[in-house]
Structure formats: C-alpha cells, structure tokens
Structure 1
Amino acid sequence: MKPFNKKLNYTTNFHYYRWNAENPEKSREKFISTLKKVLEERIPEDLHLKIQSLHYKVDDRIFVQLIGNTKDDLIFVSNILNEITGKTYDTQNVPKNKPLHGILTSIGKIGFGVFVDVGIENPVKEVLIPLHRLRLQLVNDKKLSLKEIIEFYGFMDFLPVEIEVVKIENEKGGKMRFEGKFSDEFLEQLEEWINSGLDFIFTTGISRQMIKRTIAKRGHSMDIVQIDRLGPLETVVICKEGTNAPGIISHIGPFLPDCKFSTMRTKKLQKFWNHKQ
C-alpha cells in the first residue's frame, strides 16, 4: 500500500452549536468525533484515502483535511462531504446561479425576508431571500406575512437549505450585498414532502441517533415512517398518516433538552402547491 502523499484542505460552512449544553467542552469533543464518523460513512471503501484532521477554527467553523494518493480522489470525496457540511467562499468568489448548501439564520427577527449562511467570509456575509421571492416560491405569490410562511414551513435557525445567489450588489463603503432564492432541487424536495400529506418534524441541535433512540424509548417507532439526516445535527422526522406532529413533540421534547423542534403540516400547504403555475 502506497503512503499517502496528497492533501486537500477545506473549511465547512457549518457552525458548531448546541442548545442548552451542560458541558460545552465535552459536547464539542463529542460532536467532532460524531461528525468524523458521519463523514467517513460517505467515503467510498474502494478509495485509498482518509480524514487526517478535523478541528474547530476560531469562528467555530470546522476545518477538514483529507489525505490520499490522487488529487482526483481527494476532490471527489471533498465534493461528497461538502454536500453534508457545505464550504466557505471569499466575498469576491461567491458563485451566482449555482446551488449552495446553506443554513437558515435569524429566523423571525426581521420582517422582510430570511437570511441564509452559505459560508461567505472576508468579511462574513449572509444571503437574504426577500419576502417577495419567498411568496413567489413558497405560497404561489399569495400576500402572506413572513411570520405565516415561517410557521407553515417550520423554518428555524440552523435548518439546512439549498439556495442560489441571484444578485450581488456593491453598497456604499465597499460593502457587498447578496440576495438569493431557494434552488430548484430544494423546491422539488418540498413539493415531494407536501404532496405526501404527512406531518414533518424538523429537529436541530442533536444527532439523528439520539432522536431515533428517544422516539423508540417513548414508544413512537410505529408512528414514524423514517428519520432522515439533513445535516450533522439536523434531522427530519416523517410521521405516518394520521400521526400528529405536535403530539409527538410533546412526548419526546422533555427528554431532549438540547434539541429544538418545528413542524411542517403539509395539508395546510397543499392548496398553494396544487395551484402553482
């Protein structure tokens, strides 16, 4: 076996966070260990490479170093891992009209749109999806308030999404402003969920394994279709027909103090998607 002689470094656009963590340092160490396992699961077994380093940067974004024998293999695997965590971009090199992994931020704190962190640095910038574009993409251009749209879709901080940057403007003082929209693939995923007519529970701040374990212990495994990982600490729990998402949350929530929940009750949304042009 040849020794590894190639390296590839990248920084994820994922910020470490935990809600109400009692022991932050232990929690941070555990998360790094868990994230490494999650990423290693996605590395094809026939490729001769591995994750050499995984650690926090000053801003709590996570640095990853891959080592292997060929540059092509390293790039291939880094692209797979970027689907999970995203990567960072300099303000001068943010791609337009290209799907980017993002995380919702500051949800409900402003009334004119939602912000998405897609890893823009030097300086740090977030992408605004303005209210008029949210209405056009999500509620068939109905004049709903931002609060109503957020509640319909269960949007909350740290929820992973996929967007495209559609406008980059230079403001006074040399500052830059970024506007975006949800990508076609993200909208297709929403449409698939909505057409199912099921209730969905989004969770942030805790691993998929812990969610599964708690649901099983509380006797709700039969009420769930599946539990999918959206990000390192984010999942979507798909409820069975007739299962009430708020009821599930009320049963498992007290046992998951480090977790935050939101719901998407798709029957309320079908009227918007069934009439989309």
Structure 2
Amino acid sequence: MVVLATKCYVEGEARERTLDSLESLLADDLGELDVTYDVGVRDDDFPSVTISGDDATVARNVLADRWGAITPHLEAGDEYIGTLEAWDDEGFVLDAGRTVRIPTDSIGLGQGTPAQLRTRFGLVQHLPIRFVYEGDTDDGTAVGRLADAERDRLFAWTRGEGRVTVNSATRAEVRATVNRAGHAEDIVTVERLGLLEQSIVCREETDPPGLLASIGQYLPSELLAIVP
C-alpha cells in the first residue's frame, strides 16, 4: 500500500469528482503495468492505494515518485513531503502523517513572518511541501527545514511571469473556471501541485491579482497571487 502525500479534504460531489480525477491520474501512471489497485481515503484525508500484481513494487515506486509517500517513520536527514496545515509566529506546521513543525529560521525564504512568506510565495493551505526531517525535540515535537529543492521551486515562482495558486479544486475545475471567466488567453497553463492544489501560470502581460479577482467569484477556494 502507498499513502499519497496529498490530501482529499473536500466533501459531497466535490469529493466524488476529486476521487474520479485521482482514478484517472492513477490509470495514466499505472496503466502499462501488470497491477490491480484499490483507492481509499484515510481518516486524515490522505489517499491510500493498495496495489497487487507482478509489477506491484514498480507501481509503488512510481506513485511515491509522482506524489510522495506518507510513511510511519521519519529518518533524520531524509527528505519527505508534508501538507501545509497551519502557520503562526513560530513557523509552518506540516502534516506528514504526523505533525512536523518548520521553525521560522528553518524556512529559508528570506525576510518576513511565516504568514507574510506564505502570502508572498502563494502557499495555500494543504499545499504539498518538501522538507528535511531533523529530529524530535525533548517534548516529542518533530521538526525540520524546507528542502533545498522546495526553496528553489518557490523562488523560481517569484522570478516568473506571475502565478495564482488555488486549493480545494482539481486541475480540470481550475481550467474550466479560467475559461468561464474569459481568461483562457491570459494564462500559459494550470500546473498541478497536488490533488486539490493548482498553480495558474500567467502570461507576461497578465496581472495576477486581477486574474485572482476575476476567477475568485467562481471558486470556493483559497487563492493567492504571486507577483514577480
């Protein structure tokens, strides 16, 4: 079984659409392998994929590489993926199957409070984020730092043409919303960041805050604009 490091936290019809989307993505990832699989969602909203067949080991590795995997044990110095659950003056709080705190001085994204950095870099809630686990404190709190590759990715976002990050919506839903709002020609693509977290990549002449204001009325989501 592989527990994917991305969450399905919506309910009702939105949950059904999200799981249908996940099934389609899994079919693309595993369609050429000799496996069968079943998809479920744990109580903590992480999807689990139970795999059997001759290529089961390969399939588990494919999914872990594509989505990241939630594991029961963290090894100090290793890199993992957790979802952004909260932030306060002390840093970020990630869910990696257990709570992991990223202290402010371990974020590594420049000056500002965690809340300011979250807004500046478009870190919507539940966004999958790579981190390096550094160990537990005396009171049992897991701590880590943002992975170098994660910092590089986020800095690259601020050097591009601008973006709008979105949660609580599949990639297909975001693309349809952009089209509905009449902005199909104003974007380059919608990049999948997680199952329900997307990044709308703007064209050079597109104003990210303006795009956010235009599409926000159609999406019951958190949206953050990244302005280069």
1:164 correspondence with 2:164: no
One-letter amino acid of the counterpart of residue 87, structure 1: A
1:118 correspondence with 2:96: yes
1:10 correspondence with 2:14: no
Q: Mind listing any 5+ residue stretches in structure 2 that lack a counterpart?
A: none
- Aligned counterparts of 2:191 and 2:7: Cα–Cα separation in 1: 20
For 1:7-86, list aligned pairs within 5 A.
Answer: 9-18=1-10, 24-43=11-30, 45=32, 47-51=33-37, 53-69=38-54, 73-86=55-68
- Aligned counterparts of 1:29 and 1:169: Cα–Cα separation in 2: 40
TM-score, normalising length: structure 1:
0.75
Residues 1:255 and 1:57: Cα distance change in structure 2 (over 3 Å)? same
Q: Offset of 1:13 from its aligned partner?
A: 4.0
Residues 1:79 and 1:170: Cα distance change in structure 2 (over 3 Å)? farther
- Aligned counterparts of 1:76 and 1:264: Cα–Cα separation in 2: 37
Residue of structure 1 equivalent to 2:222: 260
> Any conservation in 1 of the 2:121–2:157 contact (CA below 8 Å)?
no
Deviations 1:205-256 (A, max 9, x none): 0110111111122221111112110111111111111211111111111112
Q: Offset of 1:113 from its aligned partner?
A: 0.4
Residue of structure 2 equivalent to 1:105: 85
Deviations 1:45-74 (A, max 9, x none): 2x22232x11223343322111212xxx32
Residues 1:149 and 1:103: Cα distance change in structure 2 (over 3 Å)? same
> Any conservation in 1 of the 2:157–2:226 contact (CA below 8 Å)?
no
Report % sequence identity.
Answer: 23
Which one has a bigger Cα radius of gyration? 1
Q: 145, 149, 158: which one pairs with 2:113? A: 145
Residues 1:193 and 1:155: Cα distance change in structure 2 (over 3 Å)? closer
Q: Offset of 1:44 from its aligned partner?
A: 5.5
